[in-house]
């Protein structure tokens, strides 16, 4: 069964289904967008920027597409997992091609990273060229809603501003996954809170970066709570 699911034909079908469903979500949910003033300034700048949302909100993140896709190129960091393959195919249809790889260690015995070094270099090049990089700072395996250090490292290296995306939609189903993925249903209500820009100084120490990871993670959770309150 796993071999069948991972086949090219099945992955293409799953990618098309995901794209079509998310297109319907974009067009039928009544979205409220808050905090776009700071976002617009960054979009008008020739510099790159980083957008973050929790992994469990990956299906909701498509709400950002109308705000950004016509103004800057967007790429999304997606793991090398089988799930990541069909998500990648869906995102390509949404004009948001992926950078494949993860800086998180495998769950296996080797402890090696899946494309982490290459993905990091590609992400740096993309940000330096002025593009938008979208990341899930708790992915691909968690712990859920705890920000790892990769986002802060990218922000320090490139000087790119970071925008946190608080996302919510009702009604939405919760899947039985490690991140409790939220799957929005069409014809409902949704909200996106843009919180930022946040920056990491180029001279930040390891201790500074650990603190920023905690602070940004708490701010992202707070932005999600604000988005939930908007549609309550």
Query: SS in 3 state form for 142-188?
Result: CCCCCCCCHHHHHHHHHCCCEEEEEEEEEEEEECCCCCCCEEEEEEE
CA angle 223, 224, 229 (to 5 degrees): 95
Closest residue by Cα to residue 65 from 25, 26, 19, 33: 26
**Helix 8-28 vs helix 82-93: crossing angle, to nearest 10:** 50
What is the average pLDDT across 103-127? Answer: 66
Give phi and psi for 91, each to the nearest 5.
Answer: -65, -35
CATH number of the domain located at residue range(s) 2-230 in this protein: 3.40.1130
Residue 112 has pLDDT above 50, yes or no: no
Strands 162-174 and 182-198: what pairing?
antiparallel
> Quick one: what percent of the chain has pLDDT higher than 90?
50
For residues 158, 34, 146, 142, the Cα torsion angle rounded to the nearest 10 degrees is -90
Residue 223 has pLDDT above 50, yes or no: yes
Structural contact between residues 231 and 32, judged by C-beta atoms closer than 8 angstroms? yes
Output the pLDDT for position 91: 76
What is the average pLDDT across 101-118? Answer: 54
The average confidence (pLDDT) of the chain is 85
Q: What is the pLDDT of residues 42-95, one digit of tens each?
A: 999 999 999 999 999 988 887 777 677 778 888 888 877 766 677 777 777 777
CB count within 10 Å of CB 27 equals 10
What is the average pLDDT across 179-207? Answer: 94
What is this structure's pTM?
Answer: 0.86
Structural contact between residues 148 and 142, judged by C-beta atoms closer than 8 angstroms? no
Cα–Cα distance, 123 to 59 (Å, whole number): 22
Output the pLDDT for position 118: 85
Token reading at 35: 């905090």
Instruction: Report domain extents, the chain.
Output: 2-230
Give phi and psi for 194, each to the nearest 5.
Answer: -90, 115
Output the pLDDT for position 2: 55
What is the average pLDDT across 143-155? Answer: 92
What is the average pLDDT across 115-136? Answer: 90
Structural contact between residues 101 and 75, judged by C-beta atoms closer than 8 angstroms? no
> Quick one: what percent of the chain has pLDDT higher than 70?
89
Q: What is the pLDDT of residues 8-19, one digit of tens each?
A: 777 788 888 888
Give phi and psi for 31, each to the nearest 5.
Answer: -95, 140
Whether the ω angle into residue 143 lies within 30 degrees of 0, i.e. cis, is yes
């Amino acid at each position: 069964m796993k071999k069948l699911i991972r086949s090219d034909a099945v992955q293409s079908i799953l990618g098309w289904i995901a794209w079509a469903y998310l297109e319907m979500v974009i067009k039928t949910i009544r979205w409220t967008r808050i905090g776009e003033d700071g976002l617009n300034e960054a979009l008008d700048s020739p510099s790159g920027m980083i957008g973050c949302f929790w992994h469990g909100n990956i299906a909701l993140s498509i709400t950002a597409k109308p705000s950004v896709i016509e103004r800057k190129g967007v790429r999304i960091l997606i793991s090398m997992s089988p799930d990541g393959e069909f998500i990648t195919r869906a995102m390509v249809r949404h004009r948001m091609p992926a950078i494949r790889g993860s800086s998180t260690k495998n769950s296996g015995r080797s402890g090696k990273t899946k494309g982490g070094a290459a993905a990091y270099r590609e992400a740096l090049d993309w940000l330096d060229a002025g593009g938008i990089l979208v990341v899930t700072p708790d992915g691909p395996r968690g712990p859920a809603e705890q920000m790892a250090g990769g986002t802060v490292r990218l922000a320090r290296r490139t000087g790119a501003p970071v925008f946190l995306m608080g996302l919510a939609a009702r009604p939405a189903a919760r899947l039985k996954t490690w991140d409790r993925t939220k799957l929005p249903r069409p014809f409902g209500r949704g909200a996106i809170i843009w919180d930022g820009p946040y920056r990491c100084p180029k001279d930040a120490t390891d201790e500074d970066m650990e603190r920023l990871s905690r602070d940004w993670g708490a701010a992202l959770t707070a932005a999600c709570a604000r988005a939930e309150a908007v549609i309550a």
